[in-house]
A and B are shown apart, each in its own frame.
Chain A
Amino acid sequence: MLEDKLLLLKFKRGSPDALRRIYEKYKDELLALAVALLNDRATAEDALHDVFVSFAQSADKLKLSGNLKGYLITCVANRARNSKRLGQQRMAVSLGETEPIISDSGKPERWIISSEELDTLNNALAQLPYPQREVVILHVQGSMKFKAIAESQNVSINTIQSRYRYGLDKLRSLLNSEVE
């Protein structure tokens, strides 16, 4: 995206306005991703904070010239994985703390999601093995291609596709059992 390339260029030259715009543009998507990965809003907010502080500190060293959103998503996923490893999660807080809303993003497929549905989804996601949850979230919510996920995790694309398939099957089975 042209806007991102310009923002990145200005950011690398030390522009606070560019950095602020990057944060404003991607904060909600990245937070949703972090909450889905970590199952805890407070930990997810900390992860988002840390990712952007590191990003700001790297302005002059950043080699990135391509996909800014993909880069930030990968940073959040790496930070979430480290957080999981270190067992720094606080008590899980339900995704359903947020009020049901309709996004103003203009996406035609946007749904209204009830708190109950969010709780159900949250519980189901929490039951997936983390590698499966990560792939499902990065692919569906982060719109990352399997190839990009595989490269960022240094595993084969077949492994990533299998994790996605198993993850989605398990989610489907968990969500169906909730309904029954």
Chain B
Amino acid sequence: MRPAENIEKLIRNVPINTSAKRDEEVLDDVLNALEKSNNIQSAAHQPNL
């Protein structure tokens, strides 16, 4: 019988990595989202003159 500990090790060690191309795409979108969020925030903090 396969011990539970072995199954846990098997699950824990599944070798999956993101691809460089996918990383680039995700980071583009993520950093754009952050920039937009930063712009909205800074606009909201502008003083009324």
| A14-B34, A49-B26 as given contacts; A172 in contact with B1, CB under 8 Å | yes
Q: How many residues of B contact A (CB 8 A)?
A: 31
B-binding residues in A (CB < 8 A): 14, 16, 19-20, 23-24, 27-28, 31-32, 35-36, 41, 45, 48-49, 52-53, 55-60, 95, 98-103, 109-111, 113, 117-118, 121, 125, 136-137, 140-141, 168, 171-172, 175-176, 179
Name the contact of B14 in the complex, choosing from A24, A49, A56, A121 (C-beta under 8 A): A121
CB contact list, B1-49 vs A, under 8 A? 1-4, 7-18, 22-23, 25-27, 29-31, 33-38, 41
A84 to chain B, nearest CB (A): 19
User: What residues of chain B lie closer than 8 Å to A117, measured between beta carbons?
Assistant: 10
Asked whether B23 lies within 8 Å of A27 as measured between CB atoms, the reply is yes
A-binding residues in B (CB < 8 A): 1-4, 7-18, 22-23, 25-27, 29-31, 33-38, 41
Expressed in whole angstroms, the Cα–Cα distance for A125 and B14 within the complex equals: 12
| A171-B7, A176-B2 as given contacts; A23 in contact with B27, CB under 8 Å | yes
Expressed in whole angstroms, the Cα–Cα distance for A28 and B16 within the complex equals: 6
| A19-B30, A20-B27, A20-B31 as given contacts; A141 in contact with B2, CB under 8 Å | no
